[in-house]
């Protein structure tokens, strides 16, 4: 019996997407789907929920059990993102991550300045 991860890979192919594009579209870490496939691992319900939420045309019964058709209705309504949309999404994620790193770095510098000032006052 085929595992859910194998059906997800079939889905990625049917959506004409790369695994990376699919990961980004459902909000999982880069490489998640390929890592799960490589390890023949089980996919968590949270990931299945994300997939169905992002791609409502997918037949949930098929995704979980392999029974029935991949899509609930005609796949002409398949939601495929353009390269520009995916690149914008990735850019925004990277910018927000960099902003967080900058904030943490700034906080660390401010703590060190406070420590230096406190040690000067003690002397």
pLDDT value of residue 75:
46
Closest CA to 12 of 2, 22, 20: 22
**Per-residue burial over 35-46, b = 16 or more CB atoms within 10 Å of its CB, e = otherwise:** ebbeeeeebeee
52 or 95: which leads in pLDDT: 52
Closest CA to 72 of 55, 88, 49: 55
Would you place residue 74 in the very low, low, confident or very high pLDDT band (cuts 50, 70, 90)?
Answer: low
* Residue with the two structure tokens 């790193």: 101
Residue percentage of the chain with pLDDT more than 70: 91
pLDDT value of residue 48:
92
The angle, 0 to 180 degrees and rounded to 10, between the axes of the packed helices 4-14 and 19-26 is 100
DSSP state of 58: B
Would you place residue 78 in the very low, low, confident or very high pLDDT band (cuts 50, 70, 90)?
Answer: low
Put residue 18 in one of left, alpha, beta given phi > 0 → left and psi -120 to 50 → alpha. beta
- pLDDT at 26 exceeding the cut of 60: yes
Would you place residue 83 in the very low, low, confident or very high pLDDT band (cuts 50, 70, 90)?
Answer: confident
The model's pTM is 0.58
pLDDT value of residue 59:
92
Q: Rounded mean pLDDT of 38-53?
A: 90
* Residue with the two structure tokens 């520009």: 84
Residue percentage of the chain with pLDDT more than 90: 46
Which pair of structure tokens corresponds to residue 54?
A: 């992002």
Q: Rounded mean pLDDT of 55-61?
A: 92
């Amino acid at each position: 019996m085929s595992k859910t991860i194998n059906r997800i890979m079939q889905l990625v192919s049917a959506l004409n997407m790369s695994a990376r594009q699919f990961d980004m579209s459902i909000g999982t870490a880069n490489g998640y789907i390929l890592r799960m496939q490589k390890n023949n691992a089980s996919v968590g319900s949270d990931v299945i929920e994300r997939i169905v939420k992002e791609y409502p045309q997918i037949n949930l019964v098929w995704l979980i059990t392999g029974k029935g058709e991949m899509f609930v209705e005609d796949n002409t309504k398949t939601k495929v993102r353009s390269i520009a949309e995916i690149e914008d999404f990735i850019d925004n994620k990277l910018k927000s991550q960099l902003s967080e790193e900058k904030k943490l770095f700034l906080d660390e510098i401010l703590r060190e300045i406070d420590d230096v000032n406190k040690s000067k006052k003690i002397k």
